[in-house]
Amino acid sequence: MTLSTQFLAIAFPEIDPIIFELGPFAIRWYALAYIAGLVIGWRLMMRFAKAPGSSVTDKNVDDFLVWATLGVILGGRLGYVLFYKPEYYLSNPSEIFMVWQGGMSFHGGFLGVIVATILFTRAKKIPLMDFSDLLATVAPVGLFFGRIANFINAELYGRTTDVAWGVLFPGGGDLPRHPSQLYEALLEGLLLFVIMLILRKTDLVKKPGFLTGVFFLGYALARSFVEFFRQPDAHLGFLAGGFTMGQFLSVPMILIGLYFLFRKTPLKK
């Protein structure tokens, strides 16, 4: 690394992952991010459900909040355990439930929400794709806050770089790294959310499952792109062909997204 690169590197801001603590009780930014994503997404989804012609009611959305919370937390944690550190947690099973220490998989949380959505819509007799399209519209909100929390925790940082905005992360060595968490917050979160809002104002929303397909595809492409700048998990490294676990797990999402986009289905009147 050159002297000019060292000069341009940005020191990581001193942000305590714990907002405040009282004895054994502590509030962390990581937990607050999940709460913010769920609550804001819930309120937005209730607003969209009140639109004329919606087959989903705001009462349905209200009832789903608990289901979504369980899907995100249980699925995200189990996904991390199974996809990223199965051997470690097999040897340390008591740590599986220590979610406050970090370690959540988006793909796992996504699967958890899918299962919760299928069970909920069947129980309430709600059209699955109509409900899924509403959920897909607000999902980027949770992604945005989750990635910001990753940055605050100085985890899941990027590969070494000489760009002017490279950050010196604690635990990341003496070389500046891509703030890949912020890349993901902007692409998977903010940009994808704006796209979903724009599409909601077009006739494309008349095709059940279209917005769901856009979310699947949009997230998977954004995640796969940012993985080229993100440092792979140390215990996994690069997989076959130099790709990462995040990229491999995104492939099924791309295929499913394309299926929902191009499948033939009657339009809503």
Residue 147 labeled ligand binder: yes
Separation between Cα atoms, residue 168 and residue 171, nearest integer Å: 9
CB-based contact 230:246 (threshold 8 Å)? yes
DSSP 9: P
CB-based contact 107:79 (threshold 8 Å)? yes
Phi-psi region of 222 (alpha: psi -120 to 50; beta: other; left: phi over 0): alpha
Crossing angle (nearest 10°) for helices 106-124 and 128-152: 150
Separation between Cα atoms, residue 86 and residue 79, nearest integer Å: 10
Annotated binding site: 147
